Structure 1
Amino acid sequence: MGYIQGMDSRRGTVFGTEDGRVAIRFVRLLPHPPEKVWRAITDPGQLSAWFPAVVELDVPAGAALLFGVTDEQRRRYGMSEGSSGRMLRNEPPSVLEYEWAGEILTWEITGTTDGSRLVFTNVLSDPTAAGPAAAGWEAGLEVVEAQLGGRPITWNPLDRAEELASRT
């Protein structure tokens, strides 16, 4: 995994899990209250600007999830089928954890004196995907930060992910 060593914290930190898988963790300090950050990672309208699937996350733990293909994925990659998963934890506004196509995604939000600390961890099903996955999530988190700050999204997160991936 030498190719991962050069990744800085903004790009995520790659590490091995106790069960032998590979995970990427991102930490963002955000000057917004936990409830606002929660909406940014769960509201379908906000998700549509950055999340790589169409999904309804406002479901209880144990519920099945369907991750649909976005219009952009259809156009760009010819994708036609979504995938499934399930909600593992849904504890607004602090913990959102779900399984998606064999991967575990965990969003943890903690209030701070200046806003929130967001920790996002993606346990991968394919360890060789760490570089491209990190680039994709970094691009998505850039959109989340812009949304939270009220800044217009003037870029395509898929283009940005490809740009970031080419740097690894």
Structure 2
Amino acid sequence: MARWGQPHGHQALEAPMDNGKINLTYDGRVSLSFQLAIPHAPDKVWKVITEREYLDAWFPADVDFNLTPGADLLFKVTPEQVERFGLPADHVTRGTVISVHPHRILEFLWDADTLHWELAPDGTGGCWLTLTHTMEDEESAYAHAAGWHAGLEVVAAQLDGREVDWSPWDRADELSPQYRKSA
């Protein structure tokens, strides 16, 4: 069972995940890292973190991944972001795929940020999922922490075949004070 809360009124996650950890990098940037033990094989997890049919439920932008190093990425706002944050409906940020090792590593730039996803077999048929989001400043890390936490809860639910009947955006709002307190 998870060491952190669960979506209100919903089944607790099976896999333990600590809160995201924020650290300074060697070049003065800030990294936000999550690690989640998942009782599913890396190939199954890979689908949930790269394929559109799963991404739409949890990823904080509308994106189609071209899993080719050097490929351009377009991150479009979702209708939820337009409504919640007042972003223009045509707002787009760009990125580039840096590295792809199927079922193991996906790394890409999203604007000036770097997102590194890593899957490591755990020896029991499951794997460890690690997300490291590197950005310019600590305030940005705290701003992103609750959102990634909520998104990873959806990833775990999708993998377990559980219905996701909560909003990751609402869940991020619930989690945000927890991350702000740890600042």
Task: Confirm or deny a common fold (TM above 0.5).
Answer: yes
Deviation at 1:166, TM superposition (A): 2.1
1:27 maps onto 2:45 in alignment = no
Aligned to 1:79: 87
CA offsets 1:92-112 (integer angstroms, 9 cap, x no match): 110000000100000000112
Deviation at 1:78, TM superposition (A): 2.1
Deviation at 1:132, TM superposition (A): 2.2
Aligned to 2:162: 151
Aligned-partner Cα distance in 2 for 1:61–1:105:
14
Q: Secondary structure at the match of 1:166?
A: helix
1:106 maps onto 2:116 in alignment = yes
Deviation at 1:74, TM superposition (A): 1.5
Aligned-partner Cα distance in 2 for 1:133–1:75:
18
Q: Secondary structure at the match of 1:20?
A: coil
Aligned to 2:131: 120
Aligned-partner Cα distance in 2 for 1:125–1:45:
31
Aligned to 1:18: 26
Aligned-partner Cα distance in 1 for 2:51–2:74:
15
Aligned to 1:6: none
Of structures 1 and 2, the one with the larger relative CO (CA 8 A, separation 6+) is 1
Deviation at 1:124, TM superposition (A): 1.3
1:66 maps onto 2:74 in alignment = yes
Deviation at 1:25, TM superposition (A): 0.8
Aligned-partner Cα distance in 1 for 2:64–2:107:
13
Deviation >2 Å, runs of 4+: none
Aligned to 1:37: 45
What TM-score does the superposition give when structure 2 sets the normalisation length? 0.84
CA offsets 1:101-152 (integer angstroms, 9 cap, x no match): 1000000001122201111100013321222211110000000000000001
Aligned-partner Cα distance in 2 for 1:18–1:126:
13
Gaps of 5+ in 2: 1-16
Aligned-partner Cα distance in 1 for 2:123–2:68:
29
Aligned to 1:131: 142
What TM-score does the superposition give when structure 1 sets the normalisation length? 0.91
Aligned-partner Cα distance in 1 for 2:143–2:51:
25
- Higher mean displacement: 53-62 or 138-147: 53-62
Specify the code of the residue in structure 2 equivalent to 1:58: N
**C-alpha contact 1:26 1:121 (8 A) present in aligned 2:** yes
Deviation at 1:91, TM superposition (A): 1.4
Specify the code of the residue in structure 2 equivalent to 1:41: I
Q: Secondary structure at the match of 1:11?
A: coil
**C-alpha contact 2:66 2:73 (8 A) present in aligned 1:** no
